Structure 1
Amino acid sequence: MKLLKNTALLGVAVCLLSSFNIAETNVYICKGNYSKKYHYNKSCRGLSNCSTDIYKVSLAEAKELKRTLCGWED
């Protein structure tokens, strides 16, 4: 019976996760030569040294560009 409950909970979790689409989340990136991070907040201090404009892109696009989350936003 316990296994059945855990399996049902796992099914609900998978269903919820599959309905979440990361492409809908927007993040901010700097397109400078050495930029490697993305930011949820446009005023994040990790963007303070950006030498180019700051661009709003989808989270999926930022990840395609091999960007990782800024350490100030963990």
Structure 2
Amino acid sequence: MKTDEHLIASRAIHIELERLAERLMELARFRCAEPSNQAFLNLMARQTELLQTLGDLHDKISADFKSSSRAPLV
């Protein structure tokens, strides 16, 4: 995958995380964000998965930049 594609994918994940954060706030507002609530647990699991993917993409992009003449991302 090219670096530009990684950046696009990284941005898409950021957007999805923002949406999840908004949804979590909605759940909290309506008092549905209790640990026993399955929808809340599903959102948290998805958010964790996306954060891991974002970290992996960041590592890949940084490695790509390090191997090129450009400066690595920080």
Name whichever structure is richer in helix by fraction.
2
Q: Assess same fold via TM > 0.5.
A: no
Larger radius of gyration: 1
Shorter-chain TM-score bucket reads: 0.3 to 0.5
Which is strand-richer, 1 or 2? 1
Q: TM (normalized to structure 2)?
A: 0.33
